[in-house]
Amino acid sequence: MEDLSSSPNLHPTEPTNSSSSPSPLPILTKETVQEYPTTTCKPQGKSRYPSLEANPDTAAKLKRFAQRQFIAGFDNTRVEWPVKGAFPEIESGHPYKQAVERVRKFYGIWKSHGLKHAPKCYERWVLSQPENERERLAQCTDFKELRCALSAAYDVEWASYIFSWATSVVSFQDCSSLGQEFLKYCIIQLMVRAHLTALRQKSSSPSPELAKFDRRYLLASFDGLHTHEKWRNLTVEDFPFRSVPALRKRACLRRVDMNADSDGDVEIEGEQPRTKAPAHRSPD
């Protein structure tokens, strides 16, 4: 028979000191909380364009193609060429939809940029005019008069200002003659329309000439710039990629004509200031 005296004791072991109290609960410290977190962290939001952002070179290529496509007509429905140009082997599916979505977002940003800078360009042009003409031009509502005046004074630098987002990939001077005519047309149309829209917004009772120039009409006008019959044959080939990267220019005011500026006179010998400047006193 098996000797039961050698079997293990199955009863719980009594504490050796009956007067001792139970062990206290462990105190939670910063270290223990970090080791055993009681709450789950909120996961980081996933990128809407994971496949694009995983490859910065490809994302940059998509942007370049989108810049070239949008400057060649400002048609926000033409989204396939930039995607196919950046991803030649892409097929319909989720990645394709992601790329199209990003192109549309680019178009919206560049449209807003153009509409923001067109009225500023108009104001800069007004300031470059003779002083006695500035107020009249600032309040002029005659579309045809303003269009003719801007056409006579047109400078390709206006395009570089209003469409600065495209200058890194397209040289406006290297565009075809049709492309340059299109840019000039768009610049003048946007400058005049943005100016008239601003006048309408400032007026509590706009004149009949300004009746249609609300914000919605300005947005729709931008979207319709490419619809004129003259631009039917316009393509991206009229706006070639730059062969040499563009140098980033600092924004600066155009030079002031001192002959027309009220403070640009040459000092006349013997001329006295209106108020005598205080004499400079050297320290004792």
Q: Is position 107 within any domain?
A: yes
Q: Is position 273 within any domain?
A: no
**Region 179-193 average pLDDT:** 98
Which pLDDT band, with edges at 50, 70 and 90, does 4 fall under?
very low
pTM of the full structure: 0.68
- Buried (b) or exposed (e) across 165-187, using 16+ Cβ within 10 A? bbbebbbbeebeebbbebbbbbb
Q: Is position 204 within any domain?
A: yes
- Buried (b) or exposed (e) across 114-150, using 16+ Cβ within 10 A? bbebbbebbbebbebbeeeeeeebeebbeeeebbebb
**Region 18-44 average pLDDT:** 51
Domain count for the chain:
1
**Region 238-253 average pLDDT:** 68
Q: Is position 91 within any domain?
A: yes
The pLDDT of residue 277: 47
Q: Is position 205 within any domain?
A: yes
Q: Is position 228 within any domain?
A: yes
Residue 12 pLDDT > 60: no
Domain range for 176? 50-238
What sign has the CA pseudo-torsion 246, 174, 70, 194?
positive
The pLDDT of residue 59: 87
Kindly provide the residue ranges of all beta strands, DSSP E only, lying in the chain, ordered along the sequence.
none
Residue 269 pLDDT > 80: no
Q: Is position 124 within any domain?
A: yes
Q: Is position 202 within any domain?
A: yes
